[in-house]
A and B are shown apart, each in its own frame.
Chain A
Amino acid sequence: MMATSPADIPSKKDKNASPKKDRSLVEAELVSSVAWLIRLRWLAGVGVLLASALVSVIFPFGIQQGPLYAIGIGILAYNLIFYLIERRLRQASAPATSFDQLAKWQVGFDWLAMTLLIHFSGGIESPVLWFFIFHIVIASIFFPPRTAYLFALLAIGLVTGLTLLEYFGVLTHLPISGLIGIPLYQSSAYVATVLLFFTSTSLITAYLASSIHERLRQREEEIIELTRNLRRATNRLEALNDGARLVGSTLELPQVLNRLVESTALAMGVRACSIRLLDITGRKLDPVAVFGLSKAYLEKGPVDPEDNPLAREVLSGKVVNVPDAPNSPLIQYPEEARQEGIRSMLSAPLTGKDGPLGILRAYAVEPNRFTPDDEQFLAAIAAQGSIAIENAIAYHAIETLDATKSQFIRTVTHELRSPVSVTQSLLKTLVAGYVGEVSEQQKEILGRAVRRIEFLQTLVDDLLDLATGKAEGKALEIREAVDLRAAIERVVERFRVPATEKELALEFADLTPTQPFIIPATVDGLDRILDNLISNAIKYTPIGGKVTISLSGITDGAQVTVEDTGIGIPEDAMKHLFEEFYRAPNARTLEQQGTGLGLVIVKDLVNRFSGRLTVHSTLKVGSRFTVFLPLAEPELMHIAQDASTEAH
């Protein structure tokens, strides 16, 4: 009875490889049932004591009370011991087998107590006899049917044995005087009838209780199975969803692929997953992302579609299931697979717009692990993965192209800069007469050349600025803490002379003079922003007009406006304002020279400093450019303070 194998404990219908996790549900049930049985027995013990007292009142002389009380106390006593054992087992997180054994011991003791109780309450004549049925029901709930029947047979054996011993006078029959007039225990017919009915009732009870419980267990198993399926489905949906997000993301390719293999392996609940992509020659499949495989296995040797029948078949667009990898003719490295512990493989093609890209493969330690469901799932992941891979490659290509373009512009303009600069200086030297007298006409022609070359110089400088900004982007943090007010004062001062020449009123309105404005930017960049905006305002404002620069605080930032009473920007031109080389028609008419890059540079720089730029303009009335710039973090502020004190 005690020698039970652990396999008895969970369901007998051991559906293929029921994982540990699910068995623990059955275990948990057993553990809690043992506790329940002990609680129930406290009541039973007390019940026996109460019943004994009650019986002694009803039949004052018909019964020996002593043994009945003793049995009640005995039940409570052994229940206390079981209670203590149960508590210790629970604290020690003992295995389910220990609880199973404990349950069997308990039932054994209960059987003994029942038999004694029957003996001392009238043997075969005892009404307590039928209480055995409850115990059989409980045993049927606790144990698998076979064990339940054994316990039922044991009960029948005990009752029959007791009855026969009393019948033959080996044991003294203890009748309940007053309840039954004649001594029925000596009546063969009565004894035979009761035993027959007891036996059949016990067996039928065991059968019914076991069957009902068995059906309940099956239901439970189905629920567990369903839960497992649901969990798997959820994992897969998550993997697919993850894949979908990868498709839309602009991550770097290695990141995309690593996420893909990891989520696929986890969703399928398999040992490993890998992606191999075809190299440029199409003769080699390189592992580019791996989850769960050893380095040794990856370095087993080159995978060439020409020599690898599995790769060839998958690349032709098929999902291929290899149920027994170490013995499959499709596998190029069967011995390595065996050493790695891989028994089955499932491969799906990664296919791009222009043909095969590579292979997505799942590896399992169990043979014949992959089902048609798995095939569908892997194919779906591979389809999504293909798009993600193509996106990532395309994104990378665009990025590289953009960087190359910027670098090209940078190099070209850089090369242009020296000759333009020197030519300009040479012409100026001529005009200034350092190499001899220059006639008025020559001066006039040289002056034109100087102006053209000056424009070229501006263009080169602007282009270089733009390309540098593009190349550096926001990633390169060359930020310092710059005093915005000082920068405005400096640039405004620079334009005093040109403004006066044009009879323009140039004003700086410092609206909150006591508030410091420290901006995370670069001195050069901030200068360029202000320089471009103010020079534009002066350039496009007719003689006698007014240019006002104002500085004020906004929440967490500074606001600089450059407002003029100039020609304004036509509505049609507004949407092109920040396009490279664009110049509004009225600006073109007024001022021949202009690169159409100034505002592009301003916008670019403002963006790089995490700011915002807005434009309001009315044709023939004037324009207002507003720059919002966030203030520096407090830790940058003191740096700025130091810098400004040093400068003075």
Chain B
Amino acid sequence: MSIKNKTAVEISKMIKDRQISAVEVLEQTIQQIKEKDEKVKGFITVDEDEARKQAQIIQKGIEKGELTGPLAGVPIAIKDNIDTKGIKTTCASKILYNFVPTFDATAVKNLKEAGAIIVGKTNMDEFAMGSTSETSAFATTRNPWDLTKVPGGSSGGTCAVVASGQVSCGLGSDTGGSIRQPSSYCGVTGIKPTYGTVSRYGLIAYGSSLDQIGPVARNVADCATILETISSYDRFDSTSMKRDKYDFTSALDKDVKGMRIGIPKEYLEKGIDDEVKEAVLKAAQIMKDKGAKVEEFSLDLVDYAIPAYYIIACAEASSNLARFDGVKYGYRSKEYEGLHEMYKKSRSEGFGDEVKRRIMLGSFVLSSGYYDAYYLKALKVKRLIKEAYDKAFEKYDLILGPVAPTTAPTIGESLKDPLKMYLSDIYTISVNLAGLPAISLPCALDKNKMPIGVQFIANCFEENKMIAAGQTLEKELAENFVLDFSLV
């Protein structure tokens, strides 16, 4: 029995029905990784031995009837900024090149308890700083749809290994669009949950007030299933929120009849590729056809989202990344004299350019004399953006928009001009600033056969609405537009 092109939910069902064992699933997965990842370069670490051990244990658990959940026996890829006990976790940075966590992130713990099998850790932009996965210290991940293109970022590794059919699903993290944008570039589905829904315990922080872990998979159903598994109230994360319900899969049966959907007209005005715009309008039409009311509206402050984001995220990052100093773990410079030089050389040699750029920017905006002018002002913008969304959600159930202005750019293009790269996050960033949930899913292919994604943004705690809309859109597209997940 082959698991080729199967979703996570389908795989676990096949195992449960004794059509295949968890051990065989894993062997096929390892085979896929061996065949494809040489070209895609989506994994930093693949822990075959540990995964095999786990597969055996989980198979027994399934046979005994102890593991009955929809992820039991499913191999999963984890972004390399999420702690995995005993498996190297590098954040794609030289400074953590040898770091092995002593504990699992809560999201990973939840997955393991559900019987999912961690096969490996995926490449990313160093410390999740970047939109192309090119700032990784170890490898440049390729877009499986066209190996000369970037997979997007920062969760580019996870999206690329899912898109190339190496695994059915994975975890990413989203600080300013890092799940949704690479999902869009790679033609897969990704969810950024409401801030506080998935514990950040064990997520190596970039911008703590914006970071969320979320699922990446081949369809909405898998994403909803994984989200249901990884989300939990966690007392180890003080920003974790106690929600009434952690049910995201019941929304898969819901439709969009009567839903009010708004499209920010600013999103379709400037800087957007025509083909991307067409994809958004196509999604809007499908929603209308399915009984939703769709209209354009004005979402102010779009222009301020990017500067506010970079100030807040970099300020937090400059402090979050201070602990990487060569003293306790990770990279330490070979030669130095005295403490000060050890710090300086270890950090200069251990961090890449983009990370240094953001640490410097963050240190600057927090410096005395600049704190009020930059950091406090950015926090004000953040609050105003939240208020603008609050106002929008008084009128609409969902907001529909593009994920990125273009499809995946060619490798090497973006790094030349960081400011241009920062602009590619324009449609995703404000969602993080407002703490909202959003789903990105493929909607069309451009003339070069590169995938185009669209996103639905929901109000806080209303993931189920966007899951219902995503599921509706996906079903409609499936009739005339099938994504090929075995490209490489």
A binds B: no
Binding site for B on A (CB under 8 A): none
Binding site for A on B (CB under 8 A): none
